[in-house]
A and B are shown apart, each in its own frame.
Chain A
Amino acid sequence: MGSRSSHAAVIPDVDSIRRETGFSQASLIRLHHRFRALDRNKKGYLSRIDLQQIGALAVNPLGDRIIESFFPNGSQQVDFPGFVRVLAHFRPVEDEDTDLDPKKPEPLNSRRNKLHYAFQLYDLDRDGKISRHEMLQVLRLMVGVQVTEEQLENIADRTVQEADEDGDGAVSFLEFTKSLEKMDVEQKMSIRILK
Chain B
Amino acid sequence: MWGLRARGPGGGLLLALVLGGLLWTGGVEVEPGGAHGESQGFQVVTFEWAHVQDPYVIALWVLVASLAKIGFHLSHKVTSVVPESALLIVLGLVLGGIVWAADHIASFTLTPTVFFFYLLPPIVLDAGYFMPNRLFFGNLGTILLYAVVGTVWNAATTGLSLYGVFLSGLMGDLQIGLLDFLLFGSLIAAVDPVAVLAVFEEVHVNEVLFIIVFGESLLNDAVTVVLYNVFESFVSLGGDNVTGVDCVKGIVSFFVVSLGGTLVGVIFAFLLSLVTRFTKHVRIIEPGFVFVISYLSYLTSEMLSLSAILAITFCGICCQKYVKANISEQSATTVRYTMKMLASGAETIIFMFLGISAVNPFIWTWNTAFVLLTLVFISVYRAIGVVLQTWLLNRYRMVQLEPIDQVVLSYGGLRGAVAFALVVLLDGEKVKEKNLFVSTTIIVVFFTVIFQGLTIKPLVQWLKVKRSEHREPRLNEKLHGRAFDHILSAIEDISGQIGHNYLRDKWSHFDRKFLSRVLMRRSAQKSRDQILNVFHELNLKDAISYVAEGERRGSLAFIRSPSTDNMVNVDFTPRSSTVEASVSYLLRENVSAVCLDMQSLQQRRRSIRDTEDMVTHHTLQQYLYKPRQEYKHLYSRHELTPTEDEKQDREIFHRTMRKRLESFKSAKLGLNQKKAAKMYKRERAQKRRNSSIPNGKLPTEIPVQNFTIKEKDLELSDTEEPPNYDEMSGGIEFLAGVTKDTASDSPAGIDNPVFSPDEALDRSLLARVPPWLSPGETVVPSQRARTQIPLSPGTFRRLTPFRLSSKSVDSFLQADGPEERAPAAKPESTHM
User: Which A residues form the contact surface with B (CB < 8 A)?
Assistant: 1-3, 5, 30-31, 33-34, 37-38, 40, 47-49, 51-66, 68, 70-71, 74, 76, 87, 90, 117-118, 121, 124-125, 136-151, 154-155, 158-159, 162-163, 176, 179-180, 182-185, 187-189, 191-194
Q: Is B734 positioned at the interface, with any CB of A under 8 Å from its CB?
A: yes
Least CB separation from B663: chain A residue: A64
> Do A144 and B648 touch (CB < 8 A)?
yes
> Do B623 and A144 touch (CB < 8 A)?
yes
For the complex formed, measure the closest distance between the CB of A35 and the CB atoms of chain B, giving whole angstroms: 9
> Do B474 and A142 touch (CB < 8 A)?
no
> Do A64 and B476 touch (CB < 8 A)?
no
Least CB separation from A154: chain B residue: B616
Q: Which of B443-451, B737-745, B807-815 contacts A (4 or more CB under 8 A)?
A: B737-745
Q: How far apart sit A65 and B736, CA to CA, in the bound complex (Å)?
A: 11
> Do B475 and A146 touch (CB < 8 A)?
no
- The main secondary structure of chain B at its interface with chain A is helix
Q: Which of B476, B490, B738, B760 contacts A159 (CB 8 A)?
A: B476
18 A-B interface contacts by CB (under 8 A): A2-B501, A37-B832, A52-B753, A56-B490, A58-B652, A64-B660, A66-B491, A118-B483, A144-B648, A145-B651, A154-B616, A155-B475, A183-B480, A184-B468, A185-B484, A187-B467, A189-B484, A189-B487
| Residues on the B chain within 8 Å of A57, using CB | 490, 493-494, 656, 771, 827
> Do B495 and A145 touch (CB < 8 A)?
no
Least CB separation from B771: chain A residue: A55
Q: Is B735 positioned at the interface, with any CB of A under 8 Å from its CB?
A: yes
Interface string of B462-502 (1 = CB under 8 A from A): 00000110110011110111111111111111111111111
For the complex formed, measure the closest distance between the CB of B632 and the CB atoms of chain A, giving whole angstroms: 10
For the complex formed, measure the closest distance between the CB of B829 and the CB atoms of chain A, giving whole angstroms: 5
> Do B652 and A59 touch (CB < 8 A)?
yes
> Do B828 and A124 touch (CB < 8 A)?
no
Q: How far apart sit A118 and B493, CA to CA, in the bound complex (Å)?
A: 17
Q: Is B330 positioned at the interface, with any CB of A under 8 Å from its CB?
A: no
Least CB separation from B737: chain A residue: A74
| Residues on the A chain within 8 Å of B397, using CB | 1
> Do B734 and A34 touch (CB < 8 A)?
no
Q: Which of A62, A117, A180, A194 contacts B486 (CB 8 A)?
A: A62
Least CB separation from B558: chain A residue: A148
Q: How far apart sit A48 and B744, CA to CA, in the bound complex (Å)?
A: 12
Q: Which of A64, A163, A184, A189 contacts B659 (CB 8 A)?
A: A64
Decide: A54 near B494, CB < 8 A? Known: A140-B684, A179-B474, A179-B477: yes
> Do B481 and A183 touch (CB < 8 A)?
yes
Decide: A59 near B502, CB < 8 A? Known: A52-B660, A144-B651: no
Q: Is B1 positioned at the interface, with any CB of A under 8 Å from its CB?
A: no
| Residues on the A chain within 8 Å of B398, using CB | 1-2, 193
Q: How far apart sit A110 and B656, CA to CA, in the bound complex (Å)?
A: 31
Least CB separation from A114: chain B residue: B484
Q: Which of A145, A183, A189 contacts B477 (CB 8 A)?
A: A183
Q: How far apart sit A87 and B488, CA to CA, in the bound complex (Å)?
A: 10
Q: How far apart sit A163 and B480, CA to CA, in the bound complex (Å)?
A: 12
Q: Which of B40-48, B91-99, B111-119, B687-695 contacts A (4 or more CB under 8 A)?
A: B687-695
Q: Which of A47, A63, A137, A147 contacts B731 (CB 8 A)?
A: A137
> Do A34 and B495 touch (CB < 8 A)?
yes
| Residues on the B chain within 8 Å of A62, using CB | 483, 486-487, 490
Decide: A61 near B486, CB < 8 A? Known: A68-B738, A144-B625: yes
The size of the chain B interface, using a CB distance under 8 A, is 103
> Do B467 and A184 touch (CB < 8 A)?
yes
Least CB separation from A187: chain B residue: B467
Work out how many contacts link A and B, with CB atoms closer than 8 A: 260
For the complex formed, measure the closest distance between the CB of A7 and the CB atoms of chain B, giving whole angstroms: 15
Given A64-B734, A146-B692, output 10 extra A-B contacts at Cβ < 8 Å: A33-B496, A53-B828, A54-B493, A56-B830, A57-B493, A143-B625, A145-B691, A150-B568, A184-B468, A193-B492
User: Which B residues form the contact surface with A (CB < 8 A)?
Assistant: 396-400, 467-468, 470-471, 474-477, 479-503, 549, 558, 567-570, 572, 612-613, 615-616, 619-620, 622-625, 628, 648-649, 651-653, 655-657, 659-660, 680-681, 684-685, 687-688, 691-692, 731, 733-735, 737-738, 740-742, 744-745, 751-754, 756, 759-760, 770-772, 774, 825-830, 832
> Do A1 and B498 touch (CB < 8 A)?
yes
> Do A142 and B483 touch (CB < 8 A)?
yes
> Do A193 and B498 touch (CB < 8 A)?
yes
Least CB separation from B549: chain A residue: A146
Least CB separation from A190: chain B residue: B488
Least CB separation from B397: chain A residue: A1
| Residues on the A chain within 8 Å of B733, using CB | 124-125
Q: How far apart sit A124 and B736, CA to CA, in the bound complex (Å)?
A: 11
Decide: A71 near B737, CB < 8 A? Known: A1-B398, A61-B486, A145-B651: yes
Q: How far apart sit A185 and B648, CA to CA, in the bound complex (Å)?
A: 26
> Do A146 and B623 touch (CB < 8 A)?
yes
> Do B613 and A158 touch (CB < 8 A)?
yes
> Do B479 and A150 touch (CB < 8 A)?
no
Q: Which of B467, B500, B772 contacts A59 (CB 8 A)?
A: B772
Which 5 pairs from chain A and chain B are nearest by CB?
A2-B499, A55-B771, A55-B827, A3-B502, A34-B496
| Residues on the B chain within 8 Å of A52, using CB | 660, 753-754, 827
Q: How far apart sit A60 and B58, CA to CA, in the bound complex (Å)?
A: 50
| Residues on the B chain within 8 Å of A194, using CB | 495
Q: How far apart sit A51 and B656, CA to CA, in the bound complex (Å)?
A: 13
Decide: A56 near B480, CB < 8 A? Known: A62-B490, A64-B734, A76-B741: no
| Residues on the B chain within 8 Å of A137, using CB | 680, 731
Decide: A189 near B476, CB < 8 A? Known: A55-B828, A74-B737, A87-B494: no
